Structure 1
């Protein structure tokens, strides 16, 4: 029997690609808001005895609650097993406390998902390209977590973007250099990163140089996520000043809040904004002409292995 796939509302755009793998029946979820702001939710298709996959990342607080509510309902409905597939884990940059009293939100949200009642055949959570590896260990032992690395599809996308060009794989700063160096080795190309200095008075970061020779070359800047794009634009300007012929951006997660995508595309510094479809805002990048590769096949294969 095929697995039964349910998808939260924010990730309906990814549902078709998952169904296309041929391993799933489509399940229906219903929800509607009440005038007082409360939301009615119902799992329409019978999950009893089924191996269920619940697809949904968590870009917003509303997505977190929807995923939790439906996950709990599916478990209580008698699903044999439940695989929660989270292409994007919100609050991943809030993985540690710096100041007294700060909430480590990545951990509290992992606890929330961990409180979904376990199924008889197991409850598994699949996470994609986490900002920090340790987040997968924030979940309780009642859930088995799988951190799925996006390197296979990220490098494929980078190769397509830079096809036929002499290119360098760049990082926004030295902090991401180790991961970029790993990807560059697998692609047999040179890595690069920019040096930054923090102003002791204002705390602002300024670029002071580039570690590699990028003159006459195409630079593809990789980062795990692009949010406002400020660091990306700083790095792109540094690479262009160092002689790069063109600069492209590639990210595992295209978060791009507000007008971030427009600012990047209109900057004159970045030739294209590319990434995976792990986040709903990736669809805006795709519509703007970016190269967007789907995470569906990679995540579906990992679910199939379980």
Structure 2
């Protein structure tokens, strides 16, 4: 990806430099939803990655009938570094993928790296009533009890919503927390955005330091109680005459994101855009932010392809721009490559 001025992004320059020094190769196994990313990695880095399609079938009774790629007619998986690209977008595919991870680890792989860009149960890490299930904990139990191939499974997650979840993993799995913010910064260098806004203090604490030295002004929003209502206010910074992007880790229905955008425009922002690492958008909530929607407050809405089952459905000629994180994944893999 070359910028308009002909310069390569910082991520791409880093990858080119590292690729000259490392020879670690990965055999890729991917969830069905992540196959396009697997093919992209193989096409862009043929010396580093080889993708083996898996048949994610079902028996007539609905149980899994899976054949992992790379084992026939010749086994090219055993003894190799294996990269598993996962997508836990529903419970059915999640269980199927755990079955494949277990099978891989029981077939004498050298090591297993799981790239799960979006960890969907991150917000369910505690309960408020007895009997509720903290699914962040149960997923962590499944990861932590994967078979051992002699070294822990590395679980790479991007912009985890609740950072303490990383400590839920133990035993045979270790969390490796990454961020998509460098991909956004590369994108912003090609725009007129001059201010980063955060919808609440939590987002500011999580992300503000990642923009240090980039020259952006900062605005922090927050909710305050007004009678029985909670309204968005500007708690720090001045949005007037600024071109702003609101940054957060994920969006579900997007109510707070919308209210924050409207408040910034009301306070005199020249333009307001949004960025989220993970566009969850249940029940096609993205339609409300698209042109003609009742929450169409953003000039541009950036998100990553961490949840392709969502981003593949977004309209192409609208406010949405999907940022590809495949190069960032390669960079993050190499952070721990000798």
Fold in common (TM above 0.5): yes
* Structure 2 match to 1:3: 26
Aligned partners of 1:129 and 1:147 also within 8 Å: yes
Equivalent in the alignment of 1:113: 143
How many angstroms apart in 2 are the aligned matches of 1:85 and 1:122? 14
Is 2:296 the partner of 1:268? yes
CA drift of 1:15 comes to: 1.5
Match of 1:74, SS state, is helix
C-alpha separation in 1, matches of 2:296 and 2:156? 37
By how many angstroms is 1:199 displaced?
6.0
Name the SS of the counterpart of 1:176 in structure 2. Answer: helix
Q: Are the aligned partners of 1:173 and 1:235 in contact in 2 as well (CA < 8 Å)?
A: no
Correspondence for 1:240? 265
Aligned to 2:278: 253
Deviation at 1:77, TM superposition (A): 2.1
Q: Post-superposition shift, 1:214?
A: 1.3
> Of 188, 201, 206, which aligns to 2:215?
188
Shift of 1:200: 6.9
Match of 1:16 among 34, 39, 43: 39
Aligned-pair CA distance for 1:121? 4.8
Equivalents in 1 of 2:285, 2:317: separation in Å? 13
- For residues 278-297 of structure 1, what are the structure 2 equivalents within 5 Å? 278-280=306-308, 281-285=310-314, 287-289=316-318, 290-297=320-327
Q: Which of 92, 95, 103 matches 1:62?
A: 92
> Please, which of 22, 42, 55 is the counterpart of residue 30 of structure 1?
55
Q: Relative to 1, partners in 2 of residues 1:182 and 1:100: Cα closer, same or farther, differing over 3 Å?
A: same
Q: CA deviation at 1:66?
A: 2.1
Pairs within 5 Å for 1:21-170: 21-22=45-46, 23-46=48-71, 47-160=77-190, 163-165=191-193, 167-170=194-197
Distance 2:302 2:314 in 1: 7
TM-score by length of 1: 0.90
Mapped to 1, the partners of 2:106 and 2:65 lie a distance apart of 17
When the two structures are superposed, what TM-score results if normalisation uses the length of structure 2? 0.82
Gaps of 5+ in 2: 1-23, 72-76
The structural deviation recorded for 1:51 is 1.3
Which of 184, 187, 206 is matched with 1:179 structurally?
206
Rounded Cα–Cα distance in structure 2 between residues aligned with 1:28 and 1:232: 38
Kindly state the Cα deviation for residue 270 of structure 1 after the two structures are TM-superposed. 1.1
The verdict on how the C-alpha distance between 1:303 and 1:120 changes in structure 2, with shifts beyond 3 A counting, is: same
SS at match of 2:212: helix
- Cα distance change, pair 186–285 in 1 and its aligned pair in 2 (3 A): farther
- 8 Å Cα contact 1:33-1:39 kept in structure 2: yes
| Contact preservation (8 Å) 2:64, 2:96 | no
Distance 2:79 2:188 in 1: 42
Deviations 1:112-158 (A, max 9, x none): 12222111354221111111222121112222321112232132233
1:197 corresponds, among 221, 224, 228, to 224
Cα distance, 1:103 vs structure 2: 2.0
C-alpha distance after superposition, 1:181-225 (max 9, x if no partner): 323434221111223124675xx5222445322122211000101
Instruction: Provide the secondary structure at the position in 1 that maps to 2:83.
Output: strand
For the aligned residue pairs, the C-alpha RMSD in angstroms reads 2.1
Structure 2 SS opposite 1:178: helix
Whether contact under 8 Å (1:173, 1:194) holds in the other structure is yes
